[in-house]
C-alpha cells in the first residue's frame, strides 16, 4: 500500500465491517488501499515502470529491496521486493534489444497481518532512436494474492463499555468473510533514455561520459482487478500512474550531480517525491571502480498531508550498488508515539557483465 499514515480511529474499537472495508481493503475510500511504495523508488525500477526492464549497464541485473515503517505501533508495515532482469539481443544488437524480467513483492501490515504477495512478469523493447536517445516500451503481467488473519481482529461486541473489560468469548454478530483472494492485473509503460555517450563499447570503463537522464511513465492495474473480502460485491483496484525523471549529470572527472523526481497517483491518493544528491568517484580504474553518494529527498502525500524528509546514502563498487535511507516523518502521529515511526530502507543491485570478443554483436551500450 502507499501509506505513511494510520487510521484516525483506534483499530481495537472498530467493528469488523469497518475494519475490513476501510482500514485495509477498500481501494475506493480515500486512497487507503493503495500500492506498496519505496522512498528510494529508483531502487525498484520494475515496480516503477515495466519499460525500465533491461535499462542498465550489463547483461543481467539482480535486485532486492526492504522497507520497515511504524515498527513501534500495532500496525507496522514491512515490504520486500526482489527482481531479476536480463537483455536478449535482437537482429541488430547495437540498435535495439528485448529484455525480460521477473519480480516478487511482499507487503505485510496491521493487526490482522494483511499480506500481499505478487509475482510479476516483465518485458520491454528498447530501440536506439538517435546517437544519444533510446526509447523503450514495456508491459507487465502480475499475479497477486491478499490474505489476512481473522483471529487477530477484535470487535465492538467483545467490549463492555460500562466495566471497560474485554471478553473474546462474546459473539461478534457478523458473518465470516473470505480471508484470501487472488487476482491478475496488467501494466504498461514507456521510457526515454538520453545519455552523453557516443562510443559503441558495451561497458564504458573510462568513465569519460556519465551524463544520462531517464524520463517516463508507468501505468498499472489497467484491467481494474476485483479485490474484495466481504459479501457486498466487487471492489476494483484503482489504476496507478507513476511519472518520473531520473538524472545523473557529470560535473567533473570525479563529481556527479544526482536529481530524481517522481509521483504516485492512484484514485484520490497523490504522492510526490523529489531529491538531490552528489556522487564522488574515489577510484575510476577498471576493476576497482568505487564511488560514494549522499543525497536529501522529500516526500509529500497530497491526500493525508503527510510530509517526510529522508537522507539517502549510496555506494557503488564495480558492479555492486547499495543504497540506504531513513524517513524522518513530520506527521502529527509522531506526537503520540516515541520512536519507531521512521522508515529505514535498503536496496542492493548486482550487475552481471559478459565480456565478448569482437566482432560478436554487442548489447546496446547503456551506461
Q: Residue 151: phi, psi to the nearest 5? A: -75, -10
pLDDT by residue (tens digit) across 129-164?
988 899 999 999 999 988 876 666 666 777 777 777
Domain count, the chain: 1
pTM of the predicted structure, to 2 decimals: 0.80
Task: Reply yes or no on whether the pLDDT at 197 is more than 80.
Answer: no
Percent of the chain with pLDDT over 70: 70
Q: Is residue 363 part of a domain?
A: no
Cα distance between residue 107 and residue 23, in whole Å:
15
Percent of the chain with pLDDT over 90: 47
CB atoms under 10 Å from CB of 115, counted, come to 17
Task: Reply yes or no on whether the pLDDT at 202 is more than 50.
Answer: no
Task: Reply yes or no on whether the pLDDT at 92 is more than 70.
Answer: no
Per-residue pLDDT at 250 = 94
Band of residue 208 on the pLDDT scale cut at 50, 70, 90: low
Q: Is residue 360 part of a domain?
A: no
Q: Is residue 2 part of a domain?
A: no
Q: Is residue 357 part of a domain?
A: no
State the distance between the two ends of the chain, measured CA to CA, in whole angstroms. Answer: 32
Band of residue 332 on the pLDDT scale cut at 50, 70, 90: low
Band of residue 5 on the pLDDT scale cut at 50, 70, 90: very low
pLDDT by residue (tens digit) across 106-123?
988 766 667 889 999 999
For residues 176 and 182, the model is more confident at: 182
Per-residue pLDDT at 118 = 94
Per-residue pLDDT at 162 = 74
pLDDT by residue (tens digit) across 40-64?
999 999 999 999 999 998 999 999 9
CB atoms under 10 Å from CB of 182, counted, come to 13
Task: Reply yes or no on whether the pLDDT at 3 is more than 80.
Answer: no
Question: 94: closest CA among 363, 354, 366, 352?
Answer: 363
Cα distance between residue 110 and residue 157, in whole Å:
21
* For range 275-304, the mean pLDDT: 90
Q: Is residue 191 part of a domain?
A: yes
* Structural domain span for residue 161: 11-352
CATH number at residue 142: 2.40.160.40
Cα distance between residue 194 and residue 196, in whole Å:
7
Return mean pLDDT, the chain. 79
Per-residue pLDDT at 359 = 54
Q: Residue with C-alpha cell 549497464?
A: 57
For residues 121 and 181, the model is more confident at: 121
For residues 200 and 60, the model is more confident at: 60
* For range 193-220, the mean pLDDT: 73
Cα distance between residue 110 and residue 194, in whole Å:
42
Q: Is residue 3 part of a domain?
A: no
Cα distance between residue 340 and residue 323, in whole Å:
21
Q: Is residue 333 part of a domain?
A: yes
Q: Is residue 21 part of a domain?
A: yes
Per-residue pLDDT at 112 = 63
Q: Residue with C-alpha cell 470487535?
A: 155
Amino acid at each position: 500500500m502507499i501509506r505513511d499514515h494510520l487510521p484516525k480511529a483506534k483499530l481495537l474499537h472498530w467493528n469488523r465491517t469497518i475494519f475490513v472495508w476501510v482500514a485495509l481493503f477498500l481501494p475506493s475510500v480515500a486512497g487507503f488501499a493503495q500500492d506498496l511504495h519505496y522512498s528510494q523508488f529508483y531502487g525498484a525500477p520494475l515496480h516503477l515502470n515495466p519499460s525500465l526492464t533491461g535499462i542498465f549497464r550489463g547483461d543481467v541485473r539482480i535486485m532486492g529491496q526492504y522497507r520497515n515503517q511504524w515498527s513501534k505501533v500495532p500496525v507496522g508495515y514491512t515490504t520486500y521486493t526482489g527482481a531479476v532482469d536480463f537483455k536478449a539481443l535482437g537482429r541488430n544488437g547495437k540498435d535495439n534489444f528485448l529484455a525480460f524480467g521477473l519480480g516478487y513483492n511482499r507487503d505485510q501490515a496491521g493487526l490482522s497481518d494483511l499480506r500481499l504477495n505478487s509475482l510479476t512478469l516483465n518485458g520491454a523493447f528498447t530501440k536506439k532512436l538517435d546517437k544519444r536517445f533510446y526509447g523503450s516500451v514495456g508491459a507487465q503481467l502480475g499475479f497477486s494474492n491478499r490474505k489476512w488473519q481473522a483471529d487477530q481482529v477484535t470487535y465492538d461486541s467483545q467490549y463492555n463499555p460500562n466495566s471497560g473489560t474485554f471478553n473474546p468469548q462474546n459473539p461478534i454478530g457478523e458473518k465470516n468473510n473470505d480471508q484470501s483472494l487472488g487476482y491478475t492485473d496488467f501494466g504498461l509503460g514507456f521510457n526515454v533514455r538520453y545519455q552523453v555517450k557516443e562510443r559503441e563499447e558495451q561497458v564504458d570503463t573510462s568513465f569519460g561520459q556519465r551524463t544520462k537522464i531517464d524520463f517516463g511513465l508507468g501505468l498499472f492495474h489497467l484491467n481494474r482487478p476485483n479485490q474484495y473480502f466481504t459479501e457486498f460485491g466487487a471492489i476494483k483496484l484503482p489504476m496507478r500512474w507513476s511519472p518520473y525523471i531520473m538524472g545523473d549529470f557529470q560535473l567533473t572527472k570525479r563529481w556527479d550531480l544526482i536529481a530524481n523526481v517522481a509521483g504516485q497517483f492512484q484514485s484520490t491518493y497523490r504522492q510526490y517525491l523529489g531529491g538531490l544528491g552528489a556522487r564522488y568517484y574515489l577510484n575510476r580504474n577498471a576493476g576497482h571502480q568505487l564511488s560514494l553518494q549522499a543525497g536529501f529527498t522529500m516526500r509529500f502525500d497530497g491526500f493525508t498531508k503527510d510530509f517526510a524528509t529522508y537522507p539517502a546514502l549510496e555506494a557503488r563498487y564495480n558492479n555492486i550498488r547499495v543504497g540506504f535511507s531513513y524517513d524522518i516523518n513530520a506527521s502529527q502521529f509522531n506526537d503520540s508515539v516515541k520512536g519507531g515511526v521512521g522508515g529505514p530502507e535498503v536496496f542492493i543491485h548486482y550487475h552481471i557483465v559478459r565480456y565478448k570478443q569482437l566482432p560478436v554483436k554487442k548489447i546496446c551500450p547503456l551506461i
